[in-house]
Amino acid sequence: MWNRLAVSMANYALARSNLTIEQRNSLTMHIMDGIGALPFNDIIYVSDEGLVINNRSLSVDEMRQLRESAGAALNNQALTLIRQQATYEAITLGVHKVQSEKELLFARAAIWFGSVVEAKLKILAQRSELGTPQD
């Protein structure tokens, strides 16, 4: 009930006031953060305490399991081939077959997504940029 009231008040303030774009963005971000609608922090990142997932440090056992599964995903030949094929198809779409700006943006997003997946898998597997284990 309170969430609906807050959303209604925010909609009213956004629609009927003379707020600047920055103020509108700030209000929207504050509301979305307050009701937990969107994650405004990285889900996976490395801090001084170690690897943090969803703002929670992992136990040693959880870290071990995550490291093993991420390493297995990086070493999985089928997934590697699929990632390479998807990147190839995105480049082909974005360079050779592009017919609209939307297709170009989609191709770039697909390439970006593939690079993020690989980078995050390396973080979870605790591998350096060279792809070697950090043992």
Instruction: Kindly report, residue by residue over 101-135, the tens digit of the pLDDT.
Output: 898 999 999 999 999 999 989 988 887 544 444 44
pLDDT at 86: 93
| Sequence spans of domains, the chain | 2-34, 60-124
Cα 39 to Cα 50: distance, rounded to the nearest angstrom: 20
Query: Can you tell me the distance from the alpha carbon of 107 to that of 91, in angstroms, rounded to the nearest whole number?
Result: 7
Contact between 109 and 94 (Cβ < 8 Å): no
> What local confidence, expressed as pLDDT, does residue 85 receive?
95
Contact 113, 119 (CB under 8 A): no
Say how many CA atoms lie within 13 Å of 37 toward its Cβ: 10
pTM higher than 0.75 for the full model? no
> Could you tell me which residue, 32 or 131, shows the higher pLDDT?
32
* C-alpha count within 13 angstroms, C-beta hemisphere, residue 11: 6
Q: What is the mean pLDDT of the chain?
A: 82
